[in-house]
Amino acid sequence: MDESDLKVLSAQADDVHDAGAILRDGGLVAIPTETVYGLAGDARNDRAVAQIFAAKGRPSFNPLIVHVPDLAAAEAFAHLYDLARAAAQAFWPGPLTMVVPLRDGSGLSKLVTAGGDSVALRIPAHPVARAVLAAFGGAVAAPSANPSGRISPTTARHVIDGLGGVIEAVVDGGPCNVGVESTIVDLRTDTPVVLRAGGVTADALQDVLGVEVGAAKSGGPIVAPGQLSSHYAPNGTVRLNASVAEPGETLLGFGDVVGDLTLSATGDLAEAAANLFDCLHQLDAMGATRIAVAPIPDHGLGIAINDRLRRAAAPR
């Protein structure tokens, strides 16, 4: 697959304007966000949203995150109670998605919410995502811009490799600096629950909200497909908590564990998160069939990293 299968737009005003026009026409554009590249389509347009599922080959019962430019747009779609407002004030724009009650007459495609009475909302911080939203003048549904079940894209190149020939265009805004998806928190009640670990830690949420923040039990009903166990999978098998590679294994290092490639040579969790998906893509490109991964400390962003790695390692 090469670039000719997919128009690569720059972050310059003319190109961003074109991206807005594609969205207004009901087309799909992959856009950079601070977490991962998103596959964006008009959140009010059933056909556009259906195309998102088709392009990803994604099971259609999964609801999508709606990306809005500002708080007023969020309030037009949903009811934000006190905790949601506090979270918005502290973390928006940024890598936090809130699940909140859908407003009657929101105008969102029912495909976005999978017909449910809640909606997942986020204001992205990435300047290019914000510029595209402004050029479009609406809200976009945007799951990660990868074929379903594959590694999330953190560069335009990843998007081209995964969806070239399938979608119209990608806006190249450089590598994503958070590198793991947004934290999803259910804020429909006064007991928030983290549905997916991500760029904002549960501790940070708890500090801001001043209430206990729960974590969704694994093994319970699947509420977020990030919770499907074999998600984020590279082509090779994955063995976790490895300090040395066994014969035939390719080692993904961290800190003191020096690998064939490394998430962060200095043991920096933020750097590791930013590198995670790119490293998994690189392992695919290297043809690694057996991947060993160094231990990652299970605190802060390490919780989101380990969550993704466990899914990558799950039997398929």
| Identity of the residue, 35 or 155, whose beta carbon is nearer to ligand TXA in the bound complex | 35
The option from ligand TXA, Mg ion, none interacting with 224 (CB < 5 to 8 A, set by class) reads: ligand TXA
The option from Mg ion, ligand TXA, none interacting with 142 (CB < 5 to 8 A, set by class) reads: ligand TXA
Please choose, out of 22-30, 140-148, 262-270, 272-280, the segment that lies near ligand TXA by the rule CB under 6 A: 140-148
| Identity of the residue, 37 or 254, whose beta carbon is nearer to ligand TXA in the bound complex | 37
Residues 101 and 53: their CA atoms lie apart, in Å, by 23
Residue 290: phi and psi, rounded to 5, are: -130, 115
Residue with tokens 């043991």, as numbered in its chain: 267
Please choose, out of 113-121, 134-142, 144-152, 307-315, the segment that lies near Mg ion by the rule CB under 5 A: 144-152
For residue 248 the two structure tokens come to: 């035939």
Residue with tokens 């793991």, as numbered in its chain: 180
The option from ligand TXA, Mg ion, none interacting with 41 (CB < 5 to 8 A, set by class) reads: none
Residues 112 and 65: their CA atoms lie apart, in Å, by 7
Residue from 64, 139, 170, 205 in contact with ligand TXA (CB under 6 A): 64
Positions 80 through 119 that interact with ligand TXA (CB under 6 A):
97, 99, 113, 116, 118-119
Positions 193 through 232 that interact with ligand TXA (CB under 6 A):
195-196, 223-226
For residue 213 the two structure tokens come to: 């923040």
Residue from 144, 155, 250, 306 in contact with Mg ion (CB under 5 A): 144
Q: 308: which residues sit within 8 A by CB, 6+ positions away?
A: 180, 232, 276
| Beta-carbon count within 10 A of 84 CB | 23
User: In the 8-state DSSP scheme, what is residue 125?
Assistant: -
